[in-house]
Amino acid sequence: MSRPAVFLDRDNTLIDDPGFIDDPDQVRLLPGAAQAVRRLRAAGYAVVVASNQSGVARGLITEEQLAAVHQRLRDLLREEGAELDAIYYCPFLDGPEAVVETYRRASEHRKPGCGMLIQAARDLNLELGRSWMIGDRASDIEAGQRAGCRTILVALSHAPADNGTCSPDYRADSLREAANIVEKESTPPTDQPTTSRSGTEPAADADVRSLLTEIRDLLDRQQRARRQEDFSFLRLFGTLTQMLAVVTAIWGFVGMFDTQTMTPAIARFALAGFFQLVTLTTIAIESRH
């Protein structure tokens, strides 16, 4: 089953941005960032970083150095009990500033393209229509909109202004505030119906009703199993008593040829009648099940 995600830009959204970071020791989480990630994941969202990293194409950082930076980012988050589901980045750049020829090309993965979000949705089975894109640039917002996500522009005091070039769904002063918006405005990620005056069943009531139904079905199955066991035992017992009744009746019939006395034959017929009575009683009990 697919789930929604919150896509985060990296620099000036999740961590401080001193420039093109090429050293893991330069990674600094922004205040409240780890707490925001924890809350978003607890709310049922995958948390995925989607970051343009043209420093690779510019020759300022290698992909190996970038991997070390991202590992440091994960480590810092884990120290505060937070975890990312994935990190996607685009190392490509089109134009003369891309001095590394291997990475000099246009790419739909580079924001404002939505390629990274689409790729993450395929890899992680995400539902973009219920997802969010949070970033500090117009390109982040446009990428989210192209992917069909709701968007939040994080306007840090030292981040570049968007100059009115984008129209996010919401604006926030920090990732922590953005997490508040996501929690407030999102429908439950499980798609359970919420409480409604129009008669829609609340999610909690639906869960309780489902649990009670499962318990009832389990009890019914157990009762049927017990009845089946009783039926088998009664049938076996009735068969045995019927056989005893027949054998005893034959024994009584043989006793009728005893010329000295008829008493043994009468006693045997009486015993046969008793066995037959037991058989009939067993059948009656069985029929009630």
Are 86 and 122 in contact by the 8 Å Cβ rule? The answer is: no
Are 176 and 147 in contact by the 8 Å Cβ rule? The answer is: no
Are 133 and 7 in contact by the 8 Å Cβ rule? The answer is: yes
How far is the CA of 234 from the CAs of 225, 271, 277, 281, 285, in angstroms?
A: 14, 20, 14, 10, 8
Q: Does the annotation count 9 as an active-site position?
A: yes
Query: Which among 11, 17, 85, 140 is annotated as catalytic?
Result: 11
Contacts 24+ apart (CB under 8 A), 178-187: 178/36, 178/134, 178/152, 178/154, 179/35, 179/36, 179/39, 179/40, 181/152, 182/6, 182/40, 182/43, 182/45, 182/132, 182/134, 182/152, 183/39, 183/43, 185/150, 186/4, 186/43, 186/130, 186/132, 187/130
Query: With b meaning 16 or more CB within 10 Å and e meaning fewer, what string describes 236-269?
Result: eebeebbebbeebbebbeebeeeeeeeeebeebb
3-state secondary structure 119-141: HHHHHHCECHHHCEEEECCHHHH
Task: Give Cα 55 distance to the centre of its chain.
Answer: 37
Burial of 157 (0-12, 13-18, 19+ CB in 10 A): exposed
Coil, helix or strand for 3?
strand
Query: Which among 9, 17, 85, 140 is annotated as catalytic?
Result: 9
Q: Does the annotation count 11 as an active-site position?
A: yes
What positions carry a catalytic annotation? Answer: 9, 11
